[in-house]
């Protein structure tokens, strides 16, 4: 994620307020809970055992996000949306494997009404609790290690989730009258049911029907479109594992440019009315991806591109294979969001305390680009920033790892750049590049934590770096001189 330059000065104040409030996301109270439907009974089925999946995946900052008891392998989502009425109807097929015996389990869905649920093609009981829990009771228990398919039919008017630090997240109506979905840590469940935790990545397929004249862009590879009865249906498929917050749908009267990277990877760029000015920067995408691949290893996905809004939302987001860009986005933002395709998308965080794995490295990619393409002296930039901030307790008291709920985005964009540059100078360029390339290769399509990264760097470099990591990433003070000025950084 890249934050609007206008929003950055206010992040610190907002984050402090959030820490006091103890919540990053303010959810709007949901509709009255529907009466649970009765699960059908079938003669001869095994007795229901009291084996329930949990209503939260256990992230320390967002313990109610996601669920336990199963592992999703694929989402196949079909939606219809009419911009005139702002109504959405949906049907989701969720393929998963049970990790425990399950007499019931949960999915996450934000304030959309469910009308039918089936497990393995058999109608199931269900209830909606709070503003995002869908509790499913299959007709017969799902046994551990069994693959099963959950079908959920749902609909309503999607609503956004208010984020006090970053503004509106999730489903949003665009200035043109279309709609798009983007945000973190929550977004996907404002428009389809999911196991909403980055820990459970899955492939993603979207079939979206809109009135003729509108078009739909999403993640992955285009799989064609068709027209019938005044409606057009668009199909997209992202076959590689995707964290739910990285799924997107964007509905507008797009201008679409199609091209390929030198290796044949398809590129789809979509520009909302009023956003064509971004074309000049986006035409450099092949150059950007080639530069990043040289630093971090081969581009990890089978498609690429961008979705350019005319809306000046508070952030751009690294939605997998096809970032969503705010109206203010520039070339530096394109570098940042595409660096996330390695750091955040291919290698996803395990918990939100690990956000530096995403943002510190995507932010440092901007420095690397400036060094290579604009001749910027990064050592001089580093020294100037230290001189500017060395007496600012407010600047240095922002942890980069395990910073606390509500503080995830306080330091990762600026202090994070300094920390990564200090690490580079400590290791030397050759070792630094090797560490990053082996990291992205070893964890491709998976999840990882910050402590795992620290262990990886120490093993790859053969150095004991506990004190360095403690000072820069776990600490909340100006690092001591031995860590502040590694590798000849001092003048």
Global pTM?
Answer: 0.91
Cα–Cα distance, 414 to 411 (Å, whole number): 6
Residues sharing a CB contact under 8 Å with residue 450, sequence separation 6 or more, in sequence order:
353, 354, 356, 357, 401, 402, 473
How many residues comprise the chain?
491
Cα–Cα distance, 272 to 254 (Å, whole number): 5
The dihedral over CA atoms of 372, 376, 379, 381, expressed in degrees to the nearest 10, equals -130
Going by their DSSP bridges, the two strands 167-173 and 2-3 should be labelled as unpaired
Fold of the domain spanning 56-163+174-250: Immunoglobulin-like (2.60.40)
CB 79 within 8 A of CB 192: yes
Residue 53's pLDDT is 87
In the 3-class helix/strand/coil scheme, how is 41-62 assigned residue by residue? CCCCCCCCCCCECCCCCCCCCC
Query: How far is Cα of residue 295 from the mean position of the Cα atoms in its chain?
Result: 22
DSSP-based three-state secondary structure for 148: strand
**CA pseudo-torsion sign 196, 403, 335, 340:** negative
Q: Which CATH architecture has domain 254-346?
A: Orthogonal Bundle (1.10)
Cα–Cα distance, 194 to 203 (Å, whole number): 12
Q: What count of other Cβ atoms lies within 10 Å of the Cβ of residue 352?
A: 21
Residue 18's pLDDT is 40
Cα–Cα distance, 394 to 83 (Å, whole number): 45
Residue 8's pLDDT is 56
Helix, strand, coil shares of the chain, percent, nearest 5, are: 30, 30, 40
Q: Where are the domains of the chain?
A: 56-163+174-250, 254-346, 352-485
CB 218 within 8 A of CB 249: yes
pLDDT tens for the 491 residues of the chain, in order: 888 765 554 344 344 334 433 333 333 334 444 444 444 444 444 454 568 888 888 899 999 999 999 999 999 999 999 999 999 999 999 999 999 999 999 999 999 999 999 999 999 999 999 989 999 999 999 999 999 999 999 999 999 988 676 567 899 999 999 999 999 988 999 999 999 999 999 999 999 999 999 999 999 999 999 999 999 999 999 999 999 999 999 999 999 999 999 999 999 999 999 999 999 999 999 999 999 999 999 999 999 999 999 999 989 999 999 999 999 999 999 999 999 999 999 999 999 999 999 999 999 999 999 999 999 999 999 999 999 999 999 999 999 999 999 899 999 999 999 999 999 999 999 999 999 999 999 999 999 999 999 999 999 999 999 999 999 999 999 999 999 999 988 87
Fold of the domain spanning 352-485: Neutral Protease; domain 2 (1.10.390)
Residue in the structure block whose two tokens are 């970032």:
323
Residue 14's pLDDT is 42
Task: Specify which residues 416 forms β-bridges with.
Answer: none
Residue 445's pLDDT is 98
Residue in the structure block whose two tokens are 């600490």:
475
In the 3-class helix/strand/coil scheme, how is 111-122 assigned residue by residue? CCEEEEEEECCE
φ/ψ (deg, to 5) at 481: -55, -35
User: By C-alpha distance, which of 11, 98, 112 is closest to 403?
Assistant: 11
**The two domains 56-163+174-250 and 254-346 share their CATH topology (first three levels equal):** no
Residue 49's pLDDT is 52
Cα–Cα distance, 25 to 21 (Å, whole number): 10
């Amino acid at each position: 994620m890249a934050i609007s330059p206008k929003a950055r000065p206010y992040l610190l104040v907002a984050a402090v307020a959030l820490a006091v409030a103890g919540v990053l996301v303010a959810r709007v109270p949901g509709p009255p809970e529907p009466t649970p439907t009765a699960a059908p009974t079938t003669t001869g089925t095994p007795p229901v055992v009291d084996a329930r999946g949990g209503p939260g995946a256990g992230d320390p900052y967002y313990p109610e996000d996601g669920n336990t008891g199963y592992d999703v392998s694929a989402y196949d989502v079909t939606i219809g949306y009419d911009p005139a009425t702002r109504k959405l109807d949906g049907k989701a097929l969720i393929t998963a494997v049970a990790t425990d015996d399950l007499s019931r389990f949960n999915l996450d869905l934000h304030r959309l009404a469910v009308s039918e649920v089936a497990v393995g093609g058999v109608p199931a009981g269900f209830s909606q609790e709070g503003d995002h829990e869908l509790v499913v009771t299959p007709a017969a228990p799902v046994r551990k290690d069994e693959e099963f398919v959950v079908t959920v039919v749902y609909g309503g008017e999607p609503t956004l989730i208010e984020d006090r630090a970053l503004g509106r997240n999730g489903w949003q109506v665009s200035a043109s009258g279309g709609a798009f979905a983007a945000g973190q840590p929550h977004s996907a469940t404002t428009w389809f049911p999911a196991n909403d935790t980055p820990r459970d990545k899955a492939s993603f397929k979207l079939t979206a029907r809109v009135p003729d004249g509108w078009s739909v862009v999403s993640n992955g590879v285009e799989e064609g479109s068709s027209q019938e009865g005044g409606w057009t249906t668009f199909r997209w498929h992202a076959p590689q594992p995707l964290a739910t917050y990285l799924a997107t749908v964007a509905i507008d009267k797009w201008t679409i440019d199609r091209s390929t990277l030198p290796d044949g990877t398809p590129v789809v760029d979509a520009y909302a009315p009023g956003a064509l000015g971004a074309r000049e920067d986006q035409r450099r995408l092949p150059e950007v991806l080639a530069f990043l691949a040289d630093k971090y290893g081969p581009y990890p996905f089978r498609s690429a591109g961008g979705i350019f809004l005319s809306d000046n939302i508070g952030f751009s987001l690294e939605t997998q294979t096809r970032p969503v860009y705010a109206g203010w986005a520039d070339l530096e933002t394109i570098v940042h969001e595409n660096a996330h395709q390695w750091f955040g998308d291919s290698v996803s965080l395990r918990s939100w305390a690990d956000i530096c794995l995403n943002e510190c490295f995507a932010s440092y990619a901007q420095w690397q680009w400036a060094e290579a393409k604009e001749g910027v002296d990064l050592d001089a930039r580093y020294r100037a920033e230290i001189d500017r901030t060395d007496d600012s307790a407010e600047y240095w008291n922002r942890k980069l790892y395990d910073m606390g709920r509500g503080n995830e985005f306080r330091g990762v964009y600026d202090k994070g750049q300094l920390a990564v540059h200090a690490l580079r100078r400590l290791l030397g360029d050759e070792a630094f590049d090797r560490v990053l390339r082996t990291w992205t290769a070893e964890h491709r399509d998976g999840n990882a934590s910050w402590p795992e990264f620290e262990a990886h760097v120490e093993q790859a470099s053969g150095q004991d770096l506990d004190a360095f990591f403690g000072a820069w990433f776990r600490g909340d003070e100006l690092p001591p001189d031995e860590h502040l000025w590694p590798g000849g950084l001092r003048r």
